[in-house]
Amino acid sequence: MTVEPRDTALPLDGVTVLDLSRVLAGPYASQLLGDLGADVWKVERPGSGDETRGWGPPFAAGESAYFLSVNRNKRSAALDFADATDQALVRAAAGRADVVIENFLPGALARFGLDAAALRAANPALVVCSITGYGQSGPYAALPGYDAVLQGFTGLMSITGEPDRPPVKVGVATIDVLAGCHAAAAILAALVGRLRTGRGAHLDVALAECGIAGLVNVAQAALTGVPARRHGTAHPQIVPYQTFAAADAPIVVAVGNDEQWSRLCVALGRPEWAARAEWRANRDRVLRRDDVVAALAARVAERPAGEWLAALAAAGVPAGPVRDVADVVADPALAERDFVRPARLAGEPRDVPVLALPWRVDGARPPLRLPPPRLGEHTGAFRARFGGGG
């Protein structure tokens, strides 16, 4: 397997994470912790493992692309919670861990003695992060939560798509990813708090609440009585801020202030638009959205995308192409910035490319220490570490 050398300690070196979660939100959170140096042990169901191992095609090196995307820097132990020996082993591991991440329905782990209350009673310093669809309490707590359902439930789907078309789902499980990020942040905060108090915490992370929080300005507008609606690629409170069809391809133009609006008008060869009093301020352009957008659309359609993007870049106007994901991941900039890493899975002769942590520390990304694991690849090591046997 590909393991990169390290010259310095990572921020979470010495932190042990017991990951009892599966699918996306929980594994995304534990992957972030693993990227930062935590020792992450992923416990999976024997035989089938994490559901996402079967979510394909596509597959690479025998593993689904979905699984590969959120399980780097982890080890896998295949253990059965219904088996008394394995159950005791997981409890023992929780007794020595710093963090447990789980995404079972509230109360589901209690029958195995693996619920937050039982684990923290045995290990008061333990941080338990429970990720569920709707939280540990409330009228929806017993409902299972999957991202597509939550995109509808939270209102995200209602504001996604064209105004005259049905609501659509965002193309990636964005609420799961948001919840994973919030879970990781909550865990890090709890670990910092433990330095002062010596006590752990039970963190209740709900996908629904993360999704609603992710609506940011749209949710706040609704709280103030302004109903949300679909704007296609446009922005509800900024104009122009959307895609426009150039002569050969669409481009995105994102004007964030009135100075940029003036520069846009000049770059488009229409300086007179900047002088129009009824278009000068953003609030006026929002109120006259249809007129402004129609004028811009007609002008942008006259020339190819490359010419407009060059002109807008020279003018300092935020703009860019609409790229295919295949083109994105093939962009040499990703390799130049060390954002794509080679990972060699167990038993494979060739590497599989995976993404890295999407930010740097002191100019460098943390190394890829472990490739995504095979199901149960480290079960023996888990038993030796936490059970004292082979």
Q: How far apart are CA 326 and CA 89, in angstroms?
A: 43
The CB density around residue 69, as the number of other CB atoms within 10 Å, is 16
Residues 6+ apart with CB under 8 A from 263: 315, 316, 317
For residue 241, give the nearest of 222, 217, 219 by alpha carbon. 217
Q: CA-CA distances (angstroms) from residue 268 to 150, 246, 319?
A: 41, 12, 13
Q: How far apart are CA 258 and CA 134, in angstroms?
A: 41
The catalytic residue among 176, 284, 327, 331 is: 176
The alpha-carbon radius of gyration of the chain (Å, integer) is 25
Question: φ and ψ at 360, to 5 degrees?
Answer: -115, 155
3-state secondary structure of 265: helix
Q: Is 176 a catalytic residue?
A: yes
Helix or strand (DSSP H, E) at 40: strand 39-44
Place of tokens 């010419």: 307
The answer to whether the beta carbons of residues 30 and 128 sit under 8 Å apart is: no
The answer to whether the beta carbons of residues 50 and 27 sit under 8 Å apart is: yes
Please name the amino acid found at residue 164.
D
Residues 6+ apart with CB under 8 A from 76: 42, 44, 49, 373, 374, 375, 376, 377, 378, 379
Residue positions annotated with a catalytic role: 176
